[in-house]
Structure 1
Amino acid sequence: MMRPEVIAAFSQALLTARAAGTPVTPPADCPTYAEALAIQTTIQSSLGDVAGFKVGTLPDGPPMLAPIPTFRVFDSGAEIPSPDMAGVELEIAFELIRPLADLPLHRLFRPRLVMELVDTRFAGDDLGPLQKMADMQLNDGLVLGPVLDGWDGSDFGTLQVRMTGAGRIVLDGAADVPGGSSLGNLQLFLDHIGDHCGGLQPGQHIITGSLCGLPWFPAGSTVQAQVDGFGEIMARLVAR
């Protein structure tokens, strides 16, 4: 049974943090998985349209899911209003190009190189997995890079990557998709999303996990990456 008071407390705290632009202390009670999804629904209703979703494994039970708001989607190279420190994760996404149907995945989706923007609305270094999930799994937006045209449905497990930012090399060499299979992560998402936050719709993207861990960059940084087969992507972080 869900606890309306926990959903309300988390939703209010997260809305307050977003309005003020500064993290807040999370409520004392940790949400359940179902409550975290309900909190996401409440927050997303205040943020507008959904541009896509992120997916990842949790220590136990069903996967982490979180919506990505449309108003925080940027083209590669655009200036991105950012907090003092922003996380940037390089990922492979899949864009749904037609309504879901009983078809092979390569006829429903096209791969795209993206960067996920990361921020937290809760203060503290010891947040639990479901507290993070309630906070959209720390998502703060998405940068859209090049599409891989002519995709034949092959999986992505290990890719050759070079990523730099704020004057340092973040990654230069082989990088593994979390779990070893981007298609496996996509299918995990499809198996669990249902109608959460409107369900998956054409034009939305599913991001499948970071190739580079979670590096953080100060506002004013330019983060660039190149992935063999996909091309180049850039995030220009500017102070809000």
Structure 2
Amino acid sequence: MIAQPSFSARLIEARRDGRRIAATDGPATIDAAYGCQAGILAALGSGVAGWKVALPPGQGAVAAPLPSVVTVTAPARWTWGEGLAIELEIAVRLGRDLPPGPISRADLVAAIDGWVFGIEMVRHRLESGSAAPFPCFLADSLANDGYVVGPAVPADIDLAGRTCRATLDGAALVSAPAVHPQGDTLAPLVAWAAVQADRCGGLKAGQIVTTGALCGLVPVPGPGLVEATLDGFAPIRIAVLPAA
């Protein structure tokens, strides 16, 4: 009998060829999910450019690494694939390593070297997407496909009254108020800094950390020029190219 590829191996192939896979034989625990993340990162031959951190209901703080091989600075190019979407976000760049353990919000602010407006590239590699068993979704890096770093924004930026907008070749994809899911862009990072249960080295100086979409998930229906803006700042431009 030929052995079936492991869940991690199937996720790696899904990253490479754009397929979606069933969430079968996946990790049953959060700890095992972090093991899958580390194995996938190693298979990609990539370092960690940063983190996607989140506070999903009922789960506590979780994180997924942003692979350095798919973390770029705007303007950027990206290859379109079925299910591609974007999230408009605020991210921070760490100015020093953060060892695991409780940290106050004020001390976290002091450890930040800069704030940016960025775009997370999102693609589910699981057929059931975020409805999959949570350890499987976490193993799939919370559907992260990459990150585009945009313009600098003021420290601890006030989002009140600002609007997120995105277009594809000039056609509107979204126009909505900028609202963070927790009401505080740093709340997920404060919670994750205390845990750091990952298998990829933890929070390090120079890394980008993003903490949640400001206007939800925005599907990109096809190739073209994506322009994303947050009121008051330069647009992020991403040339989304047809698949080869």
The reply to whether TM is greater than 0.5 is yes
Q: 1:83 & 1:91 partners in 2: Cα distance?
A: 21
Question: Is the partner of 1:180 in helix, strand or coil?
Answer: coil
- Alignment partner, residue 179 of structure 1: 182
1:91 counterpart (70, 89, 92): 89
Query: Could you say what the CA RMSD is over the residues aligned between the two structures, in angstroms?
Result: 2.4
**AA at the equivalent of 2:125:** R
Aligned length: 230
The residue number in structure 1 matching 2:121 is 117
Query: What displacement does 1:123 show?
Result: 1.9
Change in Cα spacing, 1:20 to 1:93, as seen in structure 2 (3 Å) is same
The structural deviation recorded for 1:233 is 1.6
- Distance in structure 2 (CA, Å) of the matches to 1:191 and 1:230: 32
* Larger mean Cα displacement after TM superposition, 59-68 or 102-111: 102-111
**Are the aligned partners of 2:73 and 2:149 in contact in 1 as well (CA < 8 Å)?**
yes
What's the offset of the Cα at 1:157?
Answer: 5.3
Amino acid at match of 2:79: P
User: Can you give the 5+ residue segments of structure 2 that lack an aligned partner in the other structure?
Assistant: none
Which residue of the partner structure matches residue 76 of structure 1? Answer: 74
Could you tell me how far 1:53 is from its partner in structure 2? 0.6
Name the CA distance, whole Å, in 1 between partners of 2:11 and 2:213. Answer: 24
Change (3 A) 1:177 1:159: farther
Local SS of the residue matching 1:198:
coil
Deviations 1:50-75 (A, max 9, x none): 11111112332322210011111122
Q: Secondary structure at the match of 2:162?
A: strand
Q: Say which SS state the counterpart of residue 6 (structure 2) adopts.
A: helix
Counterpart Cα distance in 1 of 2:171 and 2:58: 36
For 1:178, what is the secondary structure of its paired residue? coil
Alpha-carbon distance in structure 2 between the residues aligned to 1:44 and 1:21: 17
Q: Note if contact 1:156-1:182 (Cα within 8 Å) is conserved in structure 2.
A: no
Normalising by structure 1, report the TM-score.
Answer: 0.85
Contact 2:7 2:25 in 1 (8 A): no
> One-letter code of the match for 2:35?
A
Q: Which structure 2 residues correspond to residues 57-206 of structure 1 after superposition, within 5 A?
A: 57-100=55-98, 104-109=107-112, 110-124=114-128, 126-148=131-153, 151=155, 154=156, 156=158, 158=160, 160-166=162-168, 167-193=170-196, 196-206=199-209
Alpha-carbon distance, 1:182 to partner: 0.5
Cα gap change, 1:233 to 1:121, in 2 (>3 Å): same
Q: What pairs with 1:208-223 in structure 2 (closer than 5 Å)?
A: 208-223=211-226
CA 1:147 to 1:27, structure 2 compared with 1: closer, same or farther past 3 Å?
Answer: same
Query: Which sections of structure 1, spanning at least 5 residues, go unmatched?
Result: 1-7
Alignment check: 8 A CA contact 1:164 1:170 kept = yes
The code of the aligned residue for 1:111 comes to W
